[in-house]
Chain A
Amino acid sequence: MFELLFTKFDEKVQLTEEEKELAKTFFLPKKLRKRQYLLQEGDISKYVAFVEKGTLRSYTVDERGVEHIIQFAFEGWWIGDMYSFITNEPSTYNIDALEDCELLLLSQQAEEQMFEKIPKMERFFRILVQNSLIATQRRLVGSLSQTAEERYNDLVASCPTIPQRVPQHMMASFLGITPETLSRIRKQASLKK
Chain B
Amino acid sequence: MAKTAIAIIGATGNMGSAIAKSLAKGPYRLLLFAHDKAKLESVKQDITKATPSADIDCVGCPMDASWEADVIISAVPYAAEKDVVEKIRNVATQKVVVSIANPLNETYDGLVTEPGTSAAEELQKLLPSSKVVKAFNTTYAADFAQPVINGQQVDAFIAGNDEDAVDVVKGLVTTAGFNAIVAGDLSKSRTLEAMQALLIQLTIKNNYNWLAGFKILHN
Interface of A with B (CB < 8 Å)? 1, 24-33, 36-40, 42-43, 105, 107, 110
Contact = CB atoms under 8 A, between A and B. Distances in A.
Given A28-B93, A36-B2, 19 more contacts: A25-B93, A25-B128, A26-B93, A27-B93, A27-B94, A28-B70, A28-B95, A29-B91, A30-B67, A30-B68, A30-B70, A31-B64, A33-B68, A36-B3, A37-B2, A38-B2, A40-B1, A43-B2, A107-B94
6 contacts: A26-B94, A28-B94, A32-B68, A36-B3, A42-B1, A107-B94
Contacts of A107: 94
Contact of B90 (A26, A29, A31): A29
Contacts of B90: 1, 29
Interface of B: 1-3, 64, 67-68, 70, 90-91, 93-95, 128-129
A11 B68 CA distance: 29
The 4 closest A-B CB pairs, nearest first, are A28-B94, A25-B129, A37-B2, A31-B68
Contacts of B94: 25-28, 105, 107, 110
Interface on chain B toward A: helix, strand, loop, or mixed SS? loop
A110 B131 CA distance: 12
B2 A24 contact: no
A32 B2 CA distance: 11
B165 to A, nearest CB: 11
A37 B3 contact: yes
A29 B68 CA distance: 8
Contacts of B2: 36-40, 43
B4 to A, nearest CB: 11
B202 to A, nearest CB: 41
Contacts of B64: 31
A29 B67 contact: yes
Contacts of B95: 28
Contacts of B129: 25-26
A24 B93 contact: yes
A102 to B, nearest CB: 8
A32 B3 CA distance: 11
A112 to B, nearest CB: 13
Nearest to B55: A36
Contacts of A39: 2
Contacts of B91: 1, 29
Nearest to B68: A31
A115 to B, nearest CB: 15
A38 to B, nearest CB: 6
A43 B3 CA distance: 11
B13 to A, nearest CB: 24
Q: Which of B1, B3, B70, B128 has the most CB of A within 10 A?
A: B1
Contacts of A110: 94
A1 B94 CA distance: 15
Contacts of B3: 36-37
A104 B95 CA distance: 12
A7 to B, nearest CB: 19
Nearest to B66: A29
B57 to A, nearest CB: 9
